[in-house]
Amino acid sequence: MENLSSETKANFVYLMKNFDRLGRDIGELANDKKIGKSVNPPQREKQLNPTKHPLGIALYKCWRTDNLTHEHEKGLHAILEDRNIDGEWFFDTEDTLTSGLTKYFKIHHCEEVELGTDEDPGVNRIRREQMSKDVMRAYFEEKQQEHPEWFLKSCETWVHTLSMFTKYYVTLGAQNTNGPFHTSVGYKNKPKNGLIKDEDMIPVLKEIFGDKFTITNKKVWGKSNTWEEAFELYQKVVTAGRDGIINLNNETTEEEEID
């Protein structure tokens, strides 16, 4: 991976995002991503950051695109038109835009560059968080390849089950590749009462999870020390849904019926 310094003079496409230097939740602003081009992305980051302001902009992904920079930037803007917020800013959910661009540039043989250490500690925090997400995404994508019959979609920290499950999500997640791992069943759309404990499939889930069974108003979940243990629970829940023991299929909440 090429190392990017403030002295670099080439052509790059980059990703930037908003962050709060005090570590506070900034809501939907955290999902806004900027796709731009520059011969010096670190300098561009400095230009965009307001001075003495808690809200900052972090350069967290960058690819060397050389003489095709303009074409890549314009092409991505066209492809992502439905996500456009304003100008070079796009809405990103579940980090799918970031992962999509990573795959896009890998296919086009554009090397991702190492951003190194920034002068702003907040930017460094964002970069470390993204590196952790990249590791987890790669981890789950590997598991998806090993078990394509179970995983429809991989994300940085969780995996959805089959799309036919319309009322519930069965998910498997972890803070890092060393665990602990969490297997959970929750609502796809929160019903008005928000009480999963009232569902008639709870006794079956309790039997499946055994001593790992934990229930809140929103979900049933169990914590496992290893991937294998969590994945076994995941398989049991999904299989029970497929076999009709748990009614995960063709169910809708009152909220979904209204929509």
CATH of 158-258, one of 3.40.50, 1.10.3470, 3.10.310, 3.40.5: 3.10.310
- Mean pLDDT, the chain, rounded, equals 81
How much is the pTM? 0.68
**pLDDT tens digits, one per residue of 129-154:** 898 888 877 777 777 677 665 554 44
pLDDT value of position 163: 40
Residue 43's Cα: distance from chain center in Å?
A: 28
**pLDDT tens digits, one per residue of 157-211:** 344 443 444 467 788 888 788 889 999 888 877 777 778 888 878 888 999 999 9
Q: Range(s) for CATH 3.10.310 in the chain?
A: 158-258
**pLDDT tens digits, one per residue of 8-28:** 567 999 999 999 999 899 998
Query: Which string of DSSP letters, residue by residue, matches 112-135?
Result: BEE----SSHHHHHHHHHHHHHHH
Burial (CB < 10 A; 0-12, 13-18, 19+), residue 146, is exposed
